[in-house]
Amino acid sequence: MSFYQNKVVWITGASSGIGEALAIELVRQGAKIIVSSRREEELKRVAQQTGDVAKVRTLVLDLEKPESFEMAVNNAIASFGQVDIMIHNGGISQRSKVIDTLPAVQRKVMEVDYFSYIELTRLLLPHFQQRQTGHFVVISSVMGKIGTPMRSAYAAAKHALHGFFDCLRAEIWPFNAKVTIITPGYIRTNVSRNAMTATGAALNEEGKNIGSGYAPDKTAKQILRAVEKGKYEKYVGKPVSKERMAIWLMRFFPTVAINIFKKAVPE
């Protein structure tokens, strides 16, 4: 029997990309899921894509509206009577130099990619504590381990997630709750196309490494294996890749890594 059989999993950012792939794979493995994003029609489409809409509940959620989070958590729990696993996957990226980037863009990225995660976590924690079990899965990024040009807000938010959830992991072990942080490499999603520019407008360009990135369905399988094994942190993506090498270089040969990053700054 699958580890996920009859488990209830709440996924944010579930209307496309990794979130959509996770929804489909979780239902295939027997889970019941709650899918959240701002786009209700896309959530309904994802529910159909899973092939078993009876196992899916849609819950519209805007990560820029924290005043709606308490109700969202209550509705998520009420959907199937419990939440076993919460997958934080919603977010937005950014592509611009620091000198050009409006403060509003920096703040929006932090609000969506960091503050929404910690507030939803805080609100769901009493449920996990009451049930003496639970698992937070955080979809971070390689940018949570390194910092490269044109991604200052995004890298800052992802680094912050690692710090917060490492602390949380130590706090929640007494009631058998867990944290798994996922650091994806390049995945074939719209993350670059939807990224904000310096003014907050959408980039509307596919990153040069995204097209050759790892498939979302394979990514979802890797993530779910890591969660099942209770991994603290897991890189997912191509086993041999320059982004994985960048993490290794930054850890053991930071001067080499930083000199490489310097060459990536656009004119």
Identified catalytic residue from 4, 154, 214, 235: 154
pLDDT digits (tens, 9 = 90+) for 129-147: 999 999 999 999 999 999 9
State the sign of the Cα–Cα–Cα–Cα dihedral 39, 41, 47, 48. negative
Share of the chain above pLDDT 70, in %: 97
Q: What is 102-126 written as a DSSP string?
A: -HHHHHHHHIIIIIHHHHHHHHHHH
Q: How far is CA 13 from CA 20, 97, 216, 241, in A?
A: 8, 26, 13, 25
Q: Supply the pLDDT for residue 266.
A: 81
Per-residue pLDDT, averaged over 87-113, amounts to: 96
Neighbours of 122 (CB within 10 A): 13
Whether 242 shows a pLDDT value over 80: the answer reads yes
Out of 50-59, 83-92, 198-207, 220-229, which region has the weakest mean confidence (pLDDT)?
Answer: 198-207
Residue 113's pLDDT band, with cuts at 50, 70 and 90, is very high
Whether 267 shows a pLDDT value over 90: the answer reads no
Out of 21-35, 117-131, 185-199, 222-236, which region has the weakest mean confidence (pLDDT)?
Answer: 185-199
Q: Supply the pLDDT for residue 117.
A: 99
Residue 52's pLDDT band, with cuts at 50, 70 and 90, is very high
Q: Is the Cβ–Cβ distance between 139 and 184 less than 8 Å?
A: yes
Residue 97's pLDDT band, with cuts at 50, 70 and 90, is very high
Q: Supply the pLDDT for residue 109.
A: 98
Residue 38's pLDDT band, with cuts at 50, 70 and 90, is very high
Angle at 118 between CA 230 and CA 62, to 5 degrees: 110
Is 154 tagged catalytic?
yes
Domains present along the chain, CATH in parentheses: 8-241 (3.40.50.720)
Whether 54 shows a pLDDT value over 90: the answer reads yes
pLDDT digits (tens, 9 = 90+) for 152-181: 999 999 999 999 999 999 999 999 999 999
